[in-house]
């Protein structure tokens, strides 16, 4: 049996659409692997950070699949799980905190990285009142393979070495349609 087959068997005791569980299982694997593995593609080193969106009507089982994935990440990894409500500035501070950092060794060299996993029942809640700030941050963290720096006059300096964000968010088709209509997510996310 493969990991994903085992995960789907583990998650099969509920009414949730198996597609949600399949993506949740892949997201858990992404969170556990974070920057410890990567694929070389030309000059790029690609890590398995994933942004997964469960889109479905209310009561489709989106939250069931997400909560099961959160339990597995919590119980079987040491990856930091973001609070349910978090601002863009707080996300950077959390990832920059030395307690959130991890290390891996490659070719005898030690690398520090900053993994975090985000679980959000409602994407709109995660994005908050200033959605473009969070979208811009998530886009920057996703594509940054070395160090993310945030320097502000009032809050000082935060540095996030080798950020690795794995995320699963739930939303309805109506919310997705409204977001696309408003072009909220067309900036890169």
Quick one: what percent of the chain has pLDDT higher than 90?
A: 63
Q: How far apart are CA 151 and CA 167, in angstroms?
A: 24
C-alpha dihedral, 100 to 10 to 48 to 111, nearest 10°? 40
Rounded to 10°, the helix 18-33/62-76 angle is 30
Strand partners, 170: 54
In terms of average pLDDT, the best of 55-59, 127-131, 140-144 is: 55-59
What value does the mean pLDDT take over residues 130-153? Answer: 86
Which range has the worst mean pLDDT, 45-49, 81-85, 131-135? 45-49
What does the pLDDT read at residue 183?
Answer: 55
SS3 for 99?
Answer: helix
Residue 130 has pLDDT above 90, yes or no: no
Residue 188 has pLDDT above 60, yes or no: no
Pairing label, strands 163-171, 109-120: parallel
SS3 for 166?
Answer: strand
Residues across the chain: 189
What value does the mean pLDDT take over residues 99-128? Answer: 92
Q: How far apart are CA 77 and CA 98, in angstroms?
A: 17
Which range has the worst mean pLDDT, 4-13, 92-101, 124-133? 124-133
Residue 162 has pLDDT above 70, yes or no: yes
What does the pLDDT read at residue 35?
Answer: 87
Which range has the worst mean pLDDT, 65-69, 142-146, 147-151, 179-183? 179-183
């Amino acid at each position: 049996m493969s990991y994903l087959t085992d995960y789907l068997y583990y998650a099969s005791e509920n009414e949730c659409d198996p597609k949600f569980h399949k993506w949740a299982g892949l997201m858990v694997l992404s969170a556990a692997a974070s920057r410890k593995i990567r694929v070389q593609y030309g000059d790029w080193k690609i890590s398995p950070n994933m942004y997964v969106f469960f889109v479905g009507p209310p009561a489709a089982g989106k939250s069931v699949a997400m909560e099961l994935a959160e339990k597995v990440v919590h119980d079987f990894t040491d990856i930091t799980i973001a609070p349910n409500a978090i601002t863009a500035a707080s996300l950077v501070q959390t990832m920059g905190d030395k307690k959130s950092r991890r290390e891996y060794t490659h070719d005898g060299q030690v690398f520090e990285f900053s993994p975090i996993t985000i679980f959000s029942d409602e994407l709109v809640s995660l994005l908050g009142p200033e959605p473009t700030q969070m979208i811009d941050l998530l886009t920057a963290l996703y594509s940054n393979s070395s160090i993310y720096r945030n320097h502000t006059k009032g809050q000082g300096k935060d540095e996030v070495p080798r950020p690795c964000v794995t995320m699963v968010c739930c939303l309805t088709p109506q919310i997705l349609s409204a977001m696309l209509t408003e072009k909220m997510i067309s900036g890169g996310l």
